[in-house]
Amino acid sequence: MTILKIDETKIPKHVAIVMDGNGRWAKARNLERTVGHQEGIKSVREIAETAARIGVKYLTLYTFSMENWHRPLEEVSALMGLLMYELNDKIFKKNKIRFDTIGDISRLPKNIQEQIQVVKDSTACFDRMTLVLALSYSSRWEITNATKKIAEEVAAGTLSPEQVDESCVSSHLGTYFMPDPDLLIRTGGNLRLSNYLLWQSAYTEFYFSDIYWPDFRELQFREAIVSYQHRERRFGKISEQIQKS
């Protein structure tokens, strides 16, 4: 494999990924969809290790959306089984990676909730990179939930309407502990966000790949990083202002 040269001074601090295409990858090979999910786990491991190695500080993976609960029961059960099997601290301890989650974790099976907490606790001391799994996650659910919390605080008198600004909203979201994503990657060829980090992606750079997630490995990840590094992020300003700063 040809290793692409990455500018170590322009590494995105936070990369978010929509891991799409597991089922289609399996279907193209006349395999069960669950086989695609199993193969996709190999990509998770490789991308996580690569991200940590090149200096990414936060890697957020869209693992199971709120809408995924509507999939056939046998597929949901298989996904929960895979999640439980893979939720151990081996890869985290090996690479000094901290583990965290966003989403409505209360909807997950009790044994998975307990295992999530075990891995969070056992990796809390690591600071090389934080790997965040979006589980039972929906951005609209997240924003709605944050709005309810803010309304409750205003009603209780602990927060005034004048204090409700962008910073306030961000602090009430599940992602309060990390910066907004610099780069969002979606595999599988679809060009949409699918209810993922809608608030947080206001100024995120997008990278869409036709490659299905099980085939998206270190080379493809590096290509996404290189593409990001060749972009000019202006945040509403003009090029001349950016060059002067």
> Choosing from 20, 100, 180, 182, which is the catalytic residue?
20
User: Can you say whether the dihedral through the CA atoms of 143, 43, 128, 204 is positive or negative?
Assistant: negative
- Rounded CA-CA distance 221/197 in Å is 20
Per the structure, the complete domain to which residue 131 belongs is given by 14-228
pLDDT reported for residue 162 = 97
Residue 68 known to be catalytic: yes
Asked, for residue 97, whether it belongs to a domain, the answer is yes
- pLDDT tens by residue, 17-60: 999 999 999 999 999 999 999 999 999 999 999 999 999 999 99
Asked, for residue 234, whether it belongs to a domain, the answer is no
Site of tokens 């295409």: 21
Asked, for residue 123, whether it belongs to a domain, the answer is yes
pLDDT reported for residue 60 = 98
Helix 73-86, helix 33-54: angle, nearest 10: 40
Residue 100 known to be catalytic: no
**Cα angle vertex 50, ends 47, 55, to 5°?**
125
Run of H or E residues at 91: helix 90-95
pLDDT reported for residue 138 = 97
> Choosing from 7, 22, 30, 68, which is the catalytic residue?
68
pLDDT reported for residue 4 = 77
Asked, for residue 195, whether it belongs to a domain, the answer is yes
- Rounded CA-CA distance 194/58 in Å is 20
Asked, for residue 8, whether it belongs to a domain, the answer is no
CATH number at residue 89: 3.40.1180.10
- pLDDT tens by residue, 130-187: 999 999 999 999 999 999 999 999 999 999 999 999 999 999 999 999 999 999 999 9
* Contact predicate 129/51, CB 8 Å: yes
Q: Is the pLDDT of residue 3 over 70?
A: no
Asked, for residue 242, whether it belongs to a domain, the answer is no
Using DSSP's 3-state secondary structure scheme, residue 96 falls into: coil
Asked, for residue 184, whether it belongs to a domain, the answer is yes
Q: Is the pLDDT of residue 243 over 70?
A: no
Domain count, the chain: 1
Asked, for residue 167, whether it belongs to a domain, the answer is yes
Run of H or E residues at 207: strand 205-208
- pLDDT tens by residue, 67-101: 999 999 999 999 999 999 888 878 899 999 999 99
